[in-house]
Chains A and B, each alone.
Chain A
Amino acid sequence: QVQLQESGPGLVKPSETLSLTCAVSGYSISSGSYWGWIRQPPGRGLEWIGNIYHSGSTYHNPSLKSRVTISVDTSKNQFSLKLSSVTAADTAVYYCARRALGYAFDIWGQGTMVTVSS
């Protein structure tokens, strides 16, 4: 079955860049579908960060302005998130997910907690 697994540092210093990778198994990214990043601050709701298609075209949340970069590596069957100039407000559980059913995210990774602190 399709599985997604996030990986990356759990602690990032303020003003630095948060970098996460989502490894996809059981499905080839090159086959299609959009792949997304969603985050959830502790005790709060969900916030969509951005999506990428296997071709590399991306959409991202304008509220994050130009801090977001999402890329895909089809040779490794994974996609990545970079969020620059982080502050404490970026502390959250970060999820990767597959958008496949209409505009819904049908498969999610388990999530990875990222804390921004010096």
Chain B
Amino acid sequence: EIVLTQSPGTLSLSPGERATLSCRASQSVFSTSLAWYQQKPGQAPSLLIYGASNRATGIPDRFSGSGSGTDFTLTISRLEPKDFAVYYCQQYGNSLWTFGQGTKVEIK
């Protein structure tokens, strides 16, 4: 099983700042299988990025994904108040989908 480790666990930032979230895989992952989700309290996760760097429909361009192999990054260029939430990375490999443990982006 491929384990995804997200860091940091919590990111405390102010609106307007840049957020950089990391997702590290225990072994190499196909970029096509790496996705990022946003989850707000009491809501289902919503897809932000698929294929490591492709924005899902309706996702603003302040969200960007990058990386390859074992290291992937989600960047939010300028945080807006509605961006404070928990973010999860997810991958598919060996007939198994796994998620990272999440990074909480909170208001500083």
Contact = CB atoms under 8 A, between A and B. Distances in A.
B56 A101 contact: yes
Interface string B73-96: 000000000000000101110011
B26 to A, nearest CB: 16
Interface of B: 32-33, 35, 37, 43-47, 50-51, 54, 56-57, 88, 90-92, 95-102
Given A45-B100, A47-B99, A48-B97, A108 B46 contact: yes
Of A95, A101, A106, A111, the most chain B CB neighbours within 10 A belong to A101
Contacts of B96: 48, 59, 61-62
A38 to B, nearest CB: 8
Given A59-B95, A61-B96, A103 B45 contact: no
Contacts of A101: 35, 47, 50-51, 54, 56
- Determine chain A's interface SS by DSSP, over half rule: strand
Given A62-B96, A104-B35, A104-B90, A45 B50 contact: no
A26 interface: no
